[in-house]
Amino acid sequence: MRMGWAWKVVDRKRLNNQWEGQQPFPFRQENKRSMSRLYPLSPRTIGILGGMGSAATVDLFDRIVRATPARKDQEHLPVLIVNDPLIPDRTQAILHGGPDPLPRMQAGIKKLVAMGADFVAIPCNTAHYFLPRLAPAAPIRLLDMIRETVQAVVASLPGVERVGVMATSGMLAVGLYQQALVKAGLIPVEPPADDIERMMDAIYGAEGIKSAGVTAYAVETLGTVGGELLARGAQALILGCTEIPLALQEGDLPAPLVASSQALAEAAVREAMRD
């Protein structure tokens, strides 16, 4: 006896007609009208430029869902994702003259605009080095994860003065978090060179998060680097690479952890729901 779902062929013409002339998937129309214009009562549509890496992109989407004050499906936010894993590595481009990621990032934003996104979140901290070149040409707003993360530190940890930064070697080299923290009146605490190398191995190495997922090695190594930053005087830690919050959670270390991906998710929800 056959059990389970009874599948049947859907008559697409009948399905389309039942919507009284409306297309069930209007964002597929050739003119690519934005969903916000088609549905003026709905919130703004979030665009995610992902693939840097893919697990971090999934994590951001999950955090957006969990940060949304929804009690039913219809109260959640519309989200469009372009996940392009072929965007060249940002640290390689910054430090070693690798392929420029900017053209593929620009193409991804163009796709999101065409699909109907009203603004874009980019779940890659190091990619924000290219934001000054991306934002002026973009017809919609690009959220700034570095600014949102530092603002989250200021708002949620008023007694903290010294903030450790865990990030890629490229991100630490260009100093985006260090500059933003100083501007906010805080003191950045950076890991030494050998800890940066260990942190990069926990992200990119054979047993790292990008290669093998969240391994015991990655969790232990990142926890050790975070502990060393606390020993150097940090009172809180910014998890400034979106792979790091996949391995380190609040409570893993004896200090507050501020995940950049969480700050970006909350900023995206605010932007989508603002009047």
Contacts 24+ apart (CB under 8 A), 60-66: 60/121, 60/123, 60/242, 60/261, 60/264, 60/265, 60/268, 63/261, 63/262, 63/264, 63/265, 63/266, 64/265, 64/268, 64/269, 66/265
Say if residues 33 and 114 touch (Cβ distance below 8 Å).
no
Which one from 181, 189, 241, 269 is the annotated catalytic residue?
241
Q: Is 241 designated active site?
A: yes
Which one from 121, 124, 134, 196 is the annotated catalytic residue?
124
Q: Is 183 designated active site?
A: no
List, by residue number, the catalytic residues: 124, 241
